[in-house]
Amino acid sequence: MNIVYKHIIRFVVFAFLQALVFNQLNIGFGIHLMIQPLFIMLLPFELTVIPMMGIAFLMGLVIDIFSNTYGLNTSALVLMAYLRPIVFKFYGPREGYDPLKEPTSQDMGSSWFGLVYGLLLGLHTFWFFLLEIFELGRFGFILQKTILSGGLSFLLALLIQSFILNSKQKK
Amino acid sequence: MRNLIAFLQRFRIFLVFAMLQILALSWYVTYLSFPRNQFLTTNNNIAIQILEWEHDLTKHFNLSKNNTQLQWENTYWRKRQPQFMYQLSRGKVKINDTIFEQQYTYIPAEVINSSVDRRNNYFTLNVGSAQGIKRGMGVFCHEGVVGVIHYASKHYSLVKTVLTEDINIDVNIHMKKSDLPGFIKWDGRDPRYGTVTGINNDLRIKKWSTVVTRGGSGIFPKGIPVGKVSHTEPIEGQALWKVDILFAADYRRLQRVYVIKNLHMAEQTALEARIPRDDE
CATH of the domain at A152: 1.10.1760
With respect to residue B261, please indicate whether it lies within any of the assigned structural domains: no
pLDDT of A5-33, one tens digit each? Answer: 888 998 999 998 898 888 888 777 778 89
With respect to residue B196, please indicate whether it lies within any of the assigned structural domains: yes
Range of lowest pLDDT (A73-82, A96-105, B20-29, B251-260): A96-105
Provide the residue range defining the domain that includes A93: 3-170
With respect to residue B279, please indicate whether it lies within any of the assigned structural domains: no
- Assembly ipTM: 0.84
Q: Any chain B CB within 8 A of the CB of A31?
A: yes
pLDDT of B144-193, one tens digit each? Answer: 899 999 888 888 899 989 888 777 777 777 776 778 888 888 888 888 88
Query: Do β-strands B122-125 and B157-161 pair in parallel, antiparallel, or remain unpaired?
Result: antiparallel
With respect to residue B16, please indicate whether it lies within any of the assigned structural domains: no
With respect to residue B22, please indicate whether it lies within any of the assigned structural domains: no
Q: What is the DSSP string of A4-28?
A: HHHHHHHHHHHHHIIIIIITT---S
CATH of the domain at B225: 2.40.10.350
Q: Considering only CB atoms, which chain A residues are within 8 Å of B115?
A: 23, 26, 67-68
Distances from the Cα of A67 to the Cα of A64, A74, A167, angstroms = 5, 12, 30
pLDDT of B198-249, one tens digit each? Answer: 888 788 888 888 888 887 778 888 888 888 888 888 888 888 888 899 998 8
Task: Indicate the number of domains in chain A.
Answer: 1
With respect to residue B100, please indicate whether it lies within any of the assigned structural domains: no
With respect to residue B212, please indicate whether it lies within any of the assigned structural domains: yes
Which residues in B have their CB inside 8 Å of a CB on A?
12-13, 16-17, 20-21, 23-28, 31-32, 40-42, 44, 47, 50-51, 54, 58, 113, 115-119, 122, 124, 158, 188-191, 252
Contact A26 B191 (CB under 8 A): yes
Q: Any chain B CB within 8 A of the CB of A141?
A: yes
Contact between A130 and A94 (Cβ < 8 Å)? no
Q: Considering only CB atoms, which chain A residues are within 8 Å of B16?
A: 50, 53
Provide the residue range defining the domain that includes B213: 170-249
Task: Indicate the number of domains in chain B.
Answer: 1
Task: Give the pLDDT score at B132.
Answer: 86
With respect to residue B139, please indicate whether it lies within any of the assigned structural domains: no
Of B20, B32, B117, which is closest to A70 when you measure between CB atoms? B32
Q: Any chain B CB within 8 A of the CB of A157?
A: no
